[in-house]
Amino acid sequence: MRFASSLPALLAGGDVDCDIDPIALAHYMSFHAIVPPPRTILKGVRKLPPATLLEIDAEGRETETVYWSVQFGPHEDERAYRQNDWEDKLIEVLRQSVQRRLVADVPVGVLLSGGLDSSLVVGLLAEAGQSGLATFSIGFETVGNERGDEFQYSDLIARHFATDHHQLFIDSTRALPALGRCVAAMSEPMVSHDAIGFYLLSEKVSQHVKVVQSGQGADEIFAGYHWYPPMMESRDGVADYMRVFCDRDHHEMQKILGPDYRGDDHAKSFIEGHFAKSGADRPIDKALRIDTEIMLVDDPVKRVDNMTMAWGLEARVPFLDHALVELAARIPAELKVRDGGKYILKEAARKIIPHEVIDRPKGYFPVPALKYIEGPYHDLVRDILNAPQARARGLFDRAKVDELLAHPADHITPLRGSKLWQVALLEYWLQQQGL
């Protein structure tokens, strides 16, 4: 048995079963490339779940101990809390979290997207007396009607708090050549478009600071995404969560996967198992819990960590301090999903940052070129999927792959991702690992 902090490190040691795990593949194609523990995309590698200790004795017996889990619902002394009480408690705990992540022997910067979460981190750092704070934003070319940057908001925050702001604009001629290095830096396949953004931004940031704070995690713990409101009145939590969250249903899954990888509805089985756990009674809380304990850990957190550490940059995420996550779970869901999500966080933030950032339409870290795959990006994807390794592996039905290649813009997931990029990214990562 061997241990490592990343899958490629284990591959480098050799003697690993590199066959594709069919259940992991089904999870990958359902959960935006997330493969929940203990599986990985490879049969021969397993991963330890979050907040879990594994003890192996001299005889090889294994004992797993879960040392933390999130419990939903207010404490007894919080049951009479009004909205303003929750707001005050939230800011108090977040302030402590931000300040704890300031401890360093070197200056600490902020990855400033221009959204509520990273802007609030900047505001709290400024409140703590951080003058000349270095902030960093990135933008990409606009594709069609989809804007590739949110500089107007990050610039507003930078001016308001007088930060030492750095703006990085990436055109397609720079992003495309970096994709291979970005994918090679992934400990597991990560389909999110913004991985290349974090990778290139981290390259620039590492030239100025060695530690940054980021706003990752707030959407998951404060219900900031569009799939949370439908869960409020859900009568069938599993079905409703799958409908709004999963990339494709089981019927479509059977069509896209190659014959050797078709099977049961593994995504449904996984969600049913997680939703059945105690500690969250309402469907909305079950959805928030699975996102906090599983999806968040294996996607945004790992993505930011991989992309920053590729350049020797340490990213710290104050919204994922255990005390703040526990507090967020105790806040009633009604105060989170209201007015498009993150309501309680927005209201608490009004004391600290400009309302223009709070009341703006929700944005994402946009990389339009990887959503609407055209031109040289399409050439790259076609070559990846037509490579001898891809054809020999047979992960995907060739007719469906050809359909995706013919009309990539017609195949977008409910979470606004490219289905073509999803299948290509997995093959790209495997090929980058020499598999």
Looking at residue 210, which CATH number applies to its domain? Answer: 3.40.50.620
pLDDT mean over 340-344: 96
Residue 392 lies in a domain: no
202 inside domain: yes
Q: What confidence score (pLDDT) does residue 142 get?
A: 74
pLDDT digits (tens, 9 = 90+) for 27-52: 999 999 999 999 999 999 999 999 99
Contacts by residues 397-406 (CB-CB < 8 Å, ≥ 24 positions apart): 397/255, 397/256, 397/257, 397/258, 397/259, 400/255, 400/256, 405/378, 405/381
The single-letter DSSP state of residue 165 is E
Q: Which two tokens stand for residue 32?
A: 């935006």
Domain-located, residue 245:
no
Say if residue 425 carries a ligand binding annotation: no
**Is 111 annotated as belonging to a binding site?**
yes
* pLDDT for res 327: 98
Question: Rounded mean pLDDT of 425-431?
Answer: 98
The answer to whether residue 264 sits within a structural domain is no
Structural domain total, the chain: 1
Q: Is residue 56 part of a domain?
A: no
Average pLDDT of the chain? 94
Confidence band for 150, pLDDT divided at 50, 70 and 90: confident
Q: What is the pLDDT of residue 364?
A: 62
| Residue 215 annotated as binding site | yes
> Which of 79, 87, 135, 67 is closest to 107 using CA atoms?
135
Residue 144 predicted with pLDDT over 70: no
- Average the pLDDT over each of 227-231, 262-266, 314-318, 358-362 and give the range with the smallest value: 358-362
Tell me if 211 is assigned to some domain: yes
| 3-state class (DSSP) for residue 409 | helix
**Domain assignment of residue 395, yes or no:** no
- Mean pLDDT across 208-228: 95
Distance separating alpha carbons of residues 156 and 371, to the nearest angstrom: 27
Tell me whether residue 66 is in a domain: no
Domain that holds residue 123: 78-224+278-364
